[in-house]
Amino acid sequence: MKPKPLDRSVPTDVLAIFGPTASGKTAVAQALAERIPAELVSADSMQVYRGLPILTNQVPARLVGIWPLDHEASVAEYQRLAHAAIDEILASGRTPIVAGGTGLYLRAALAELNLPPKVHACARARWEAFYDEVGPEQAHARLSDLDPDAAEAVHANDRRRVVRSLELAGLERERDRLWSGETRHPTVIVGLDVPKDVLDRRIDERTRAMFAAGVRAEAEAALSRPVSSTAAYAHGLSDITEHPEDEAAIEALSARTRRYAAYQRKWMRRIPGLVSLPADRPPGEVADAILEVARARQRLPAGRAG
């Protein structure tokens, strides 16, 4: 019997994959690209930087390694580039596969959000006054409420970075109100669900693999040059510099990454229309399941595809 021919039809305009770090987003996206004519677009706020390929787990994709480490990133700038990349891929007859673990970047890539390119000076002055009035500890506690991950990356006494983080967190809270189920193109958004114990094991294994691959030298080289306030949030930079012994750094980075994964899982519940799929299985099986979902959506009668 002849093998069944591979169905390489494009099931929808855009496929989007979200999930916590170490859930297998990149491997699943690559498996999808082997099954349909497609190209990957990164939706990760740290993969946009050059110089940290090991730490940020970079693979060839659009919007990976596009900015130097001293570049102050903005969601608005990323959104313009992401929209252009997605439209170009669609025009070539391929499917954009938008994959990432930064919820705000994923939304910016898929939707038409009215985002300011930079934080307004009034907002900065307001947060500076807040920091000076309540003091470092309470300002940092407020940051923990708004963005726990950012709070972990900055010391309470670092006024400039705490204020900057509060600005960004405040903007993100406002942007939440702008997000709806509407996207620029018909899109299937899939969330990769991995049991916590499996995810924790993957995080530990990947962290050790990073150190074996030379992530300490990479981080030290990066920090020997100017680094922007946005690039400074890259997971692991502070852990590596604060812990000269690899084992201590591995433990600290693994713990930070597990906390961040929990934050990303919360993000999954906030994305309208997201289809959750079990991802504790080979990437090819997850890719096949995503295509099934996409093709089923395509066959739904008009008005039921949301």
Per-residue pLDDT reduced to its tens digit, 5-50: 445 555 569 999 999 999 999 999 999 999 999 999 999 999 999 9
% of the chain surpassing 70 pLDDT? 86
Whether the CB-CB separation of 190 and 15 falls below 8 Å is answered with: yes
* The model scores a pTM over 0.75: yes
Our CA angle for 5, 6, 8, nearest 5°, is 130
pLDDT at 44: 93
Helix (H) or strand (E) holding 298: helix 283-299
Instruction: Give the tens place of pLDDT for each residue, 46-100.
Output: 999 999 999 999 999 999 999 999 998 888 899 999 999 999 999 999 999 999 9
SS3 of 65, please?
Answer: coil
pLDDT surpassing 80 at residue 122 = no
Q: Which domains does the chain carry?
A: 14-113+182-299 (3.40.50.300), 116-178 (1.10.20.140)
